[in-house]
Chains A and B, each alone.
Chain A
Amino acid sequence: GQNIDQPTEMTATEGAIVQINCTYQTSGFNGLFWYQQHAGEAPTFLSYNVLDGLEEKGRFSSFLSRSKGYSYLLLKELQMKDSASYLCAVTEAGSYQLTFGKGTKLSVIP
């Protein structure tokens, strides 16, 4: 089984940088995904990490440390449209099933 923890809510200011953390415990790790979900809409894929280190994609970056069971999503130059829930999800070795955390609701304020 897997256990995934992320903060429930965060607030940040437009133009700032915010880091959303995710910790996980799993019997076998095969990769970590971040998804963005606006209220009432479908989740959309943001990033994927399977090796340790930082993956950068424009304003969004994601970091993974497998030894610590830890990832973060970094959002730079925040915009109002970044207000959404951010879902951390882990795949278990051999199954390719995704187990999702409960999500972090980010509110960007002016």
Chain B
Amino acid sequence: DADVTQTPRNRITKTGKRIMLECSQTKGHDRMYWYRQDPGLGLRLIYYSFDVKDINKGEISDGYSVSRQAQAKFSLSLESAIPNQTALYFCATSDAGNQPQHFGDGTRLSIL
């Protein structure tokens, strides 16, 4: 079983719809992150959380919200999806300190 699991793996939806992407981990890490990846732009941080009650905005948080329901779960929501949110989304986790991040397999999201 994967240590960092993202659901769904693929999603196609329409403009204006509310979307939730889920991430769960079995690594026991406190820190969780959401990134999006676009061709030519690399990975960009959307939100991150260092603990259950801790939520922080990343570089590109506008249009997104997150919820850290438990240490193992971190979900990303698009309240009203728009086409330029079409991207590959990754969840990642890490231990405290300057430790490497471990990524889920990604969610490919297409908004028509």
A89 to B100, CA, bound (A): 10
Q: Which chain B residue has the least Cβ–Cβ distance from A89?
A: B43
Given the complex, which residues of B lie within 8 Å of A102, measured CB to CB? 40-42
Q: Which chain A residue has the least Cβ–Cβ distance from B58?
A: A97
Task: Verify if B74 is at the interface (C-beta below 8 Å from A).
Answer: no
Task: Verify if B34 is at the interface (C-beta below 8 Å from A).
Answer: no
How many residues from A make CB contacts under 8 Å with B? 22
Given the complex, which residues of A lie within 8 Å of B45, measured CB to CB? 97-99
User: Contact: B41 with A33, CB < 8 Å?
Assistant: no
Complex interface residues of chain A between 36 and 59 (CB less than 8 A to chain B)? 40-45, 48, 50
A48 to B91, CA, bound (A): 20
Given the complex, which residues of B lie within 8 Å of A101, measured CB to CB? 42
User: Contact: B101 with A98, CB < 8 Å?
Assistant: yes
Extra inter-chain contacts (10) besides given A33-B101, A87-B42, A96-B97, CB under 8 Å = A30-B98, A41-B106, A42-B90, A42-B103, A42-B104, A45-B100, A48-B100, A96-B31, A98-B45, A100-B43
Interface positions of A (Cβ within 8 A of B):
30-31, 33, 40-45, 48, 50, 87, 89, 91, 96-103
11 A-B residue pairs with Cβ-Cβ distance under 8 Å, sorted by A, are: A42-B90, A42-B103, A42-B104, A87-B42, A87-B43, A96-B97, A97-B45, A97-B58, A100-B42, A100-B44, A102-B40
